Amino acid sequence: MNKMLTVLILIPLLFVSAQNKYKFPYKINFIDHAAELTEGTEKADAFINLAGYNIDHYNDIKTGLKFLLRARDISIELNYSKGLIRSYEILGDIYFVSGNYSEALDYYTKKADILKKEDRPEDLASNYLKMSDVCLYSKNFDRSLEYASEAARIGDAAGEEHILSRAYYFMAIAVRGKFDYTKALEYTYRSLELSEKSDNNYFAGNCYNAIGDLNEMMGNFQTAFENYKKAEKIYEEHSVHSGLSIVYFNLASMHKVFGDYSKALDYLNKSLEISVETRNDEMIRENYMGLYGLYNLLKDFKNANNYYMLLNSFTAQNDSLNAPISKIEIDYEISKNEMDKELLNLKLEQERNKKYIYGAVFFLIFSITYFFFYRKLKQKKINELRLEERRVRAELSSLQFNINPHFLFNSISSISELINLNPSSAKKMLQNISGLLRYTLRTSKNEFVKLEEEILMIRKYLEIEKIRFGKRLEYQIDIPETLSNMLIPPLLIQPLVENSIKHGLSNKLEGGMINISAYENIPGRVTITVEDNGESKEGTEKPEGNGIGLSSVKERLRLVYNSDHNFKVEKENGFKVIISIPKKI
């Protein structure tokens, strides 16, 4: 094939040489004919319109992204601010919905810089709200609050109540992420007041739903239920399907807390139906998990298993369909640079004297041969890296699903034992489990969570176990404030605590103590310990990491940190697990 390619290149070159004319037509493979008919700023607009057409009508993100990048480059070259604003905004939106939050924030920031120069405060405030939303999804709540507050300042100064209402809403979500529920309620009520004042019914529904969420987190279930019903009424009156899928899910959660499992099932099925119609992948996944948990609670294990299999299948399918957006942009930049270089070489070729033509042909053949060989090697390396990345992600996902059902089954078993003996304790345990499930759902796709979030979840778990064990279980947690923002893999510590209770304290009549601590003994290295003073059953040894809990922790440490970690078990007057990992903020 390389020989044929060489011949095909040589023939037109020799013919052109004989005619003493040097015309080398070149066409970029993804340029549409319509875009070729325009020039200047109109060409940039044409590429943006072509991008929108490919994305909206064909769901062809790859081609659409290439058109947008071309429009961006033309706009930069012409200093065309309108084209830059449009291309930056759409590029940011594409990266946002694909989960590439860093790239999305980068494009929104570039758009904000232009809006500042052009003195467009209202557009700037709306852009700040998008930036705040991106930071919320990436769990950077401080930065999200900063952008939302700046949008609120601009909206207040301009007297734009619709901007101010949205700004307060995002500020509420940001402080909620920092567990300041009282402040979050204050901001949400401000947003609700402005929404109702401006007859923005859709956004008022969002506010009622958010107020319900906050009250549910604070344990005010009746107040939460009432606000969810208000949101439901608004969404149904105005046919807001995206809001209905969420509020139906929340109402199902409330009916589950109240013990009305029939209504909980009805609402979950309604939420799932709307989520499928609107292609809301996140809500489809949450509904599958919710139905799986509810059928388990009803001891309908056949249906529970069906939804568990649907959840696994749906997650695997969607992960495989996620487009590597950042890779498309990298390939575009590489392709653009190579094409620019080739065009320059061709122009120089045209200007050279006829006596150098044979030397130029030899150089071109050598360049093309080297180009194809280099691309082949590079593509092979990229494919190897992709396969390795998929393997590691698959292993981490598998370990995550090993941990969550194991913990859930143990908790449901505990509730079953208490329902007849102590209904109030069973209800309290169920409420705590609801909070834990929200935590696991929220962090199921996160590679890391803050240490303070993990510890908050462990406190809830230990309170669940204290209902079972009573005074036989005591615990102490010692985590310094300086490590609260440290990032660790989710559900790293909980299996160790569960192991101490199951294999240590549960076998000791008088119970015992569990100590959880973390300290930075070496700069940049943090040691986490989980220790108990329990004892194993007579004639048996305590587990050394071969069960689901400990072995999964060891395997996840290996996949996340490679060899840059330590996992140690000590047995002396109890059982002690010591983990040493790099400090990551």
pLDDT tens, 481-522?
Answer: 999 999 999 888 988 998 888 887 877 778 889 999 999 988
Q: What is the pLDDT of residues 434-478, one digit of tens each?
A: 877 777 777 777 789 999 999 998 998 888 888 778 888 899 999
Give phi and psi for 120, each to the nearest 5.
-120, 80
Residue 16 corresponds to which amino acid?
V
Pairing relation of β-strands 512-522 and 525-532?
Answer: antiparallel
Angle separating helix axes 548-561 and 494-503, nearest 10 degrees: 160
Residue 6's pLDDT band, with cuts at 50, 70 and 90, is: very low
Q: Which residues of the chain are in CATH 3.30.565.10 domains? A: 402-582
| Structure tokens, 84 | 């830059």
Reported as type and span, the H/E element at residue 306 is helix 301-321
Residues 80, 65: Cα–Cα separation, whole Å: 19
Q: What is the pLDDT of residues 120-149, one digit of tens each?
A: 999 999 999 999 999 999 999 999 999 999
Residues 447, 457: Cα–Cα separation, whole Å: 17
Task: Provide the sign of the torsion angle of the four alpha carbons 217, 218, 221, 222, taken in this order.
Answer: negative
Give phi and psi for 548, each to the nearest 5.
-60, -45
pLDDT higher than threshold 50 for residue 377 = yes
Cross-strand pairs, 474: 513
Q: What is the pLDDT of residues 292-306, one digit of tens each?
A: 988 988 888 888 889
| Structure tokens, 103 | 């790239």
| Structure tokens, 372 | 């194809």
8-state DSSP, 506: G
What DSSP assignment string belongs to 456-503?
HHHHHHHHHHHHHHGGGEEEEEE--GGGTT-EE-TTSSHHHHHHHHHH
| Structure tokens, 479 | 């985590």
Q: What is the pLDDT of residues 545-563, one digit of tens each?
A: 445 578 888 888 988 898 8
Q: What is the pTM of this model?
A: 0.51
Q: Which residues of the chain are in CATH 1.25.40.10 domains? A: 199-321
Collapsing DSSP to helix, strand or coil, 579 comes out as strand
Q: What angle is formed at CA 450 by the lines to CA 280 and CA 96, rounded to 5 degrees?
A: 35
Residues 133, 151: Cα–Cα separation, whole Å: 12
Closest listed residue to residue 293, CA positions, set 411, 421, 209, 214: 411
Contact 41, 80 (CB under 8 A): yes
Collapsing DSSP to helix, strand or coil, 411 comes out as helix
| Structure tokens, 148 | 């939302």
CB hemisphere CA count around 533 (13 angstroms): 11
Collapsing DSSP to helix, strand or coil, 75 comes out as helix
Residue 321's pLDDT band, with cuts at 50, 70 and 90, is: very low
Contact 177, 442 (CB under 8 A): no
| Structure tokens, 548 | 């689901």
Matching CATH number, 199-321, of 3.30.230.10, 2.40.30.170, 1.25.40.10, 3.40.950.10: 1.25.40.10
Contact 12, 329 (CB under 8 A): no
Matching CATH number, 402-582, of 3.30.565.10, 3.40.50.720, 2.60.34.10, 3.60.10.10: 3.30.565.10
8-state DSSP, 516: E
Closest listed residue to residue 558, CA positions, set 566, 546, 550: 566
